[in-house]
């Protein structure tokens, strides 16, 4: 029964460990997934804006080319739309860069250029309007547009490279952080595994100590402590039927004197084996000490208890016990039985005393007998 309890504890502990491991794996997987999403949302959107801004610069360059070459494809309204998009997109990129994880000193120069561009864009718009009214102002407009196109092209190219580098760095850092977390979890799991193993070993050791403290070392039967606790627990529930028998080997001292104590130990082992095979759950058999044994009957009627005790007495009487590898000896036992059908409340010390009184009568009446307490009937 103890082995089963230990196995149940082990299963529960390992289930907790597996649950903890699963939780750790889920947490790391969730962290990786969220990191990728955050990484993408942080830089991908910014990269898209810069790509679109570079496309605006390309359109500006094309309009500038048409303007310089007096191409019929030049369209003032198209140029105004490009300038409007630049005017809209520059502050947007400025804000997203500042909100990103990129250090301030990395983008300070580029943001400064964009701020200057935003400041001169109204002047460029005025120059475009003036050009529509007076074509002779073309060279001034071309000069402004060239400077604007150059500043934006260099700035956006630099920002694009900067974002790519920052994205690579952050991706590498997140990868390293993931490995670090995995390493930390692995360390925790190793420590937890060691603690669980130590806990299991400690519990096993505790159970072994409990078994040793409640078991007779010679016969491996439960001892007086065990049977006392079982009887007290059973009596607390006020059972309808409870019986207690004390069995004492007759003239056991002579066996020790004639054949030696090792022979006496062998006899005790044989008797213990007979008792153990004669009793079934929920009843218990135990060694009280010396040549005394006892049986705690639970859920047995008085007649059933008498029958079991009598069968044990007859079996012992008929058994030839080999000692010292040669001699065959016979031994008998006397039994005092007390049985309570629940008609009155009692304690373990009382039922023990009643059984001991019945045993005393069995010894007094010639030994090798079973005596029932109260009516002192002999069988």
Return the CATH number at 334: 3.30.70.270
Residue 121 lies in a domain: yes
Low-confidence ranges of the chain (pLDDT < 50): 2, 37, 40-41, 376-379
**Which of 170, 193, 216 is at the close of a domain?**
193
- My answer on whether 264 and 161 are in the same domain is no
Is residue 365 in a domain?
Answer: yes
Query: Are residues 17 and 149 part of one domain?
Result: yes
Residues 45 and 132 in one domain: yes
256 and 368 in a common domain: yes
Tell me what pLDDT residue 97 has.
85
Do 184 and 331 belong together in one domain? no
230/168 same-domain check: no
Q: Is residue 319 domain-shared with residue 254, that is, in the same domain? A: yes
The answer to whether residue 303 is domain-embedded is: yes
One domain, residues 159 and 302: no
Per-residue confidence (pLDDT) for residue 36, from 0 to 100: 55
- Residue 251: the pLDDT is 92
Residue 219 lies in a domain: no
Would residue 155 count as lying in a domain?
Answer: yes
Which pLDDT value is given to residue 379? Answer: 46
* Boundary residue ending a domain (145, 178, 193): 193
Q: Which residue has the tokens 């903890």?
A: 20
Residue of 149, 170, 266, 291 marked active site: 291
* Res 35: pLDDT: 59
CA–CA dist 251, 119 (Å, integer): 120
- Looking at residue 344, its pLDDT comes to 65
pLDDT of residue 42: 60
Q: Taking a C-beta distance cutoff of 8 angstroms, is the pair 91, 118 a contact?
A: yes
- The reply to whether 210 falls in a domain is no
Residues 139, 261: one domain?
no
Strand ranges, E, within the chain: 242-249, 284-289, 292-298, 321-323, 327-329, 333-340, 370-372
Amino acid 8: pLDDT: 67
248 and 359 fall within a common domain: yes
Q: How many structural domains is the chain composed of?
A: 2
Task: Specify if 199 maps to a domain.
Answer: no
Residue 118's domain comprises 2-193
Are 278 and 150 in a shared domain?
no
Cβ pair 268, 218 in contact under 8 A: yes
Residue 149 lies in a domain: yes
- Looking at 176, 193, 210, the residue that finishes a domain is 193
CA distance 351 to 298: 13
232 and 137 fall within a common domain: no
Q: What is the pLDDT of residues 154-195, one digit of tens each?
A: 998 998 888 888 878 777 877 777 777 777 778 877 777 777
pLDDT, position 376: 47
291 catalytic residue (yes or no)? yes
Burial class (CB in 10 A: 0-12, 13-18, 19+), 145: buried
**CATH number of the domain to which 23 belongs:** 1.20.120
On whether the CB atoms of residues 234 and 297 are closer than 8 A, the answer is no
């Amino acid at each position: 029964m103890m082995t089963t309890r230990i196995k149940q504890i082990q299963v529960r502990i390992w289930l907790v460990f597996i649950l903890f491991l699963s939780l750790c794996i889920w947490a790391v997987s969730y962290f990786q997934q969220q990191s990728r999403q955050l990484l993408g949302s942080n830089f991908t959107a910014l990269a898209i804006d810069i790509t679109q801004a570079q496309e605006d610069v390309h359109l500006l360059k094309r309009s500038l080319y048409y303007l310089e070459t007096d191409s019929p494809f030049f369209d003032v309204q198209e140029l105004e739309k490009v300038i409007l998009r630049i005017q809209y997109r520059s502050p947007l990129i400025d804000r997203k860069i500042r909100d990103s994880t990129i250090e301030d000193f990395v983008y300070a120069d580029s943001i400064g250029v964009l701020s200057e561009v935003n400041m001169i864009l109204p002047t460029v718009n005025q120059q475009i309007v003036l050009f529509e009214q007076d074509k002779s102002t073309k060279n001034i407009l071309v000069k402004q547009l060239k400077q604007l196109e150059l500043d934006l092209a260099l700035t956006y190219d630099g920002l694009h490279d900067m974002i790519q580098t920052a994205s690579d760095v952050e991706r590498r850092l997140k990868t390293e952080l993931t490995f670090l977390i995995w390493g930390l979890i692995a360390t925790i799991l190793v420590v937890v595994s060691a603690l669980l193993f130590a806990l299991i070993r400690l519990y096993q050791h505790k159970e072994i100590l409990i078994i040793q403290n409640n078991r007779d070392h010679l016969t491996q039967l439960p001892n007086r402590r065990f049977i006392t606790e079982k009887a007290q627990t059973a009596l607390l529930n006020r059972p309808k039927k409870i019986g207690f028998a004390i069995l004492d080997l007759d003239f056991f001292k002579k066996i020790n004197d004639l054949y030696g104590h090792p022979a006496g130990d062998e006899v005790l082992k044989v008797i213990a084996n007979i008792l153990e095979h004669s009793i079934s759950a929920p009843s218990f058999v135990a060694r009280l000490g010396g040549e005394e044994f006892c049986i705690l009957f639970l859920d047995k009627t008085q007649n059933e208890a008498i029958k079991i005790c009598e069968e044990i007495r007859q079996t012992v009487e008929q058994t030839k016990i080999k000692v010292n590898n040669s001699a065959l000896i016979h031994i008998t036992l006397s039994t005092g039985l007390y049985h309570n059908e629940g008609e009155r409340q009692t304690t373990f010390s009382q039922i023990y005393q009643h059984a001991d009184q019945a045993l005393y009568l069995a010894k007094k009446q010639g030994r090798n007998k079973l005596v029932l307490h109260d009516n002192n009937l002999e069988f």
